Amino acid sequence: MKQTILGSGGAIGIELAKVLKTYTGDIRLVSRNPRKVNDEDEIFRADLTDREQVFRAVENSEIVYVTVGFAYNIKVWKKEWPPFISNVIDAW
């Protein structure tokens, strides 16, 4: 069962990947510059503000975790969050 972490490069995504290893060996880590946390991890480079890349990132996933860390700026959140989360919902 593939489990995908969107925004896997931050503190929460890294810790989540470590814990998920206990439950599955099929983990996809998605970020602009993904790095393996566990030896078996699949890495997937994506710009999560791009709809098509979000769709490809979650393809064939049974579970998708959202740990994206947009900049803590109200203008950024108002602009980036609504289309991002809509894309995740539409893709999955």
What is the CATH number that goes with domain 3-91? 3.40.50.720
Query: Distance (Å, rounded) from C-alpha 85 to C-alpha 25?
Result: 26
Residue 14: the pLDDT is 97
Listed residue (9, 51, 14, 12) closest to 32, CA to CA: 9
Kind of pairing between the strands at 3-6 and 63-66: parallel
Tell me the percentage of the chain whose pLDDT exceeds 70.
100
Query: Is pLDDT at 89 greater than 80 in this prediction?
Result: yes
Spell out the domain ranges in the chain.
3-91
pTM, two decimal places: 0.92
Give pLDDT tens digits for 6-40. 999 999 999 999 999 999 999 999 999 999 999 99
φ, ψ dihedrals at 34, nearest 5°? -70, 145
pLDDT above 80 (res 42): yes
- Between CA 18 and CA 38 the distance in angstroms is 7
